[in-house]
Copies of this chain bind each other. A is one copy, B any other.
């Protein structure tokens, strides 16, 4: 069974660089709920590299940031019993690059909730490539209120 991604389900018109389905120059990640985690597989293109064969660290951060933000939005939706996710934005994210990340195959993202309050969630995520965890991320994502520039913008 193919599951629909959170992006395609809840924000099909988004043009966000990291996760917008309609941004043909973006990364277009597809975050899939899998139990209590959210996962994604993503295939690098040559222009995403730092040098031939190795993925750029900023791209890894972009993948982990958007994937984690969607994990937070999905969690808050569930927690609040809502029909659609709230608008969440990134407050902070911290990336550790553990080893060079090969680009000859897909990278796999796994994100989970580690702390949760009414309007904000801390997410931890990993990026695996070539069978090894190559990068980790810990970030804080906040549901914005009416009046915030991002409110109802995605």
Contact = CB atoms under 8 A, between A and B. Distances in A.
A128 interface: no
Main secondary structure of the interface of A (DSSP, over half): mixed
A15 B92 contact: no
State the copy count for this chain. Answer: 2
A26 to B, nearest CB: 6
Contacts of A114: none
B57 A90 contact: yes
B93 A94 contact: yes
Contacts of A52: 15, 153
A54 interface: yes
B66 A62 contact: no
A55 to B, nearest CB: 9
Contact of A90 (B17, B65, B97, B150): B97
A69 B92 CA distance: 20
22 contacts: A15-B51, A16-B49, A17-B56, A17-B59, A18-B50, A18-B56, A24-B47, A25-B25, A26-B47, A50-B154, A51-B153, A54-B149, A57-B65, A57-B93, A58-B61, A58-B62, A61-B61, A61-B65, A90-B97, A92-B97, A93-B95, A94-B94
Given A16-B49, A18-B56, A58-B58, 4 more contacts: A24-B47, A61-B65, A61-B95, A100-B149
Interface of A: 14-18, 23-27, 46-54, 56-59, 61-63, 65-66, 89-97, 100, 148-150, 153-154
